[in-house]
Amino acid sequence: MIGIISAMPEEMQFLLNDLQIAKTIKKGKRTYYQGKLFNNEVVIVFSRWGKVAASATLTQLLNSFDISEVIFSGVAGALQKNLNIGDIIIGTALKQHDMDASPLYPAMEIPLLDKTSFKTSNSPKLEKATQYFLVNYSKYFDKETLKEFEIKNPKYYKGLIVSGDQFVNSDEKINIILKKAPNALCVEMEGAAVAQVCYEYDIPFQIIRIISDKANDNSHIDFPLFAKKVAGKYASGILEIYLS
């Protein structure tokens, strides 16, 4: 059974629309939707924002269901200048940019685990599904939406994603993160925590992030509307291909 997590309800709504719900379970102020999605047994859950919320949600998910794989989808802010709104990041590794137990441990190292990053299972199948979606992305949106967010020929990238309990919305914050992790592609608030829990439970983990903003002073303007109008369709379209 595949566990699918998003940090915002807007990001998972299109998946819920396609889910043949068998039952729902409410625990810890979360609703876990179990059923069939594109002929696969899945559980979909909205984690809420932040590393603690995501960790609690995933731990409950793994202890309540027989989960064989976890997929996280959602939006993120770009850290590299070549990234544009609508681009897709497939995470190959994740770090907590705000973890700092120095001088006891090196910055970003997780105490007692001797790790600064957590690798994903990085399935070629997910990459192929993303490629196929991007070839046909214009079929999922009307021209007005693409124009509104200036989405033109979106691309996908593979690499490091960083997470922290803060909304990054300035060049100053971007520069601080890039000093710690210069090769990080994007920043968000949940992925590295989910990756750590999956590592500790020995569960394969994959993550897709859609660039919603440039993590700058305009992030708060772009972010909510993008999540509502765009991100959910990306997740639904990619996962339909992946699960088919």
Q: What's the rounded Cα separation, in Å, for the pair 98 and 168?
A: 12
* Contact (CB, 8 A) for 180 and 97: yes
pLDDT per residue rounded down to tens, the chain (244 residues)? 999 999 888 888 899 999 999 999 999 999 999 999 999 999 999 999 999 999 999 999 999 999 999 999 999 999 999 999 999 999 999 999 999 888 888 888 899 899 999 999 988 999 999 999 999 998 999 999 999 888 999 999 999 999 999 988 888 899 999 999 999 999 999 999 999 999 999 999 999 999 987 766 555 556 677 887 899 999 999 999 999 8
Q: What's the rounded Cα separation, in Å, for the pair 100 and 89?
A: 25
DSSP state of 50: S
* Domain definitions of the chain by residue range: 2-243
pLDDT at 221: 54
Alpha helices in 31-114 (DSSP H): 51-64
* Contact (CB, 8 A) for 204 and 121: yes
Q: Which residue, among 204, 117, 130, has the nearest Cα to 160 in the 3D structure?
A: 117
Q: What's the rounded Cα separation, in Å, for the pair 38 and 31?
A: 20
Q: Which fold has domain 2-243?
A: Rossmann fold (3.40.50)
* Contact (CB, 8 A) for 226 and 130: no
Q: What's the rounded Cα separation, in Å, for the pair 155 and 216?
A: 21
DSSP state of 232: H
Catalytic residues: 11, 213
* Strand partners of residue 34: 23, 43
Interacting residues of 64 by C-beta distance below 8 A, sequence separation 6+: 25, 27, 32
pLDDT at 56: 97
* Widest distance between CA atoms in the chain: 53
Residue 91: in which H helix or E strand, if any? strand 88-96
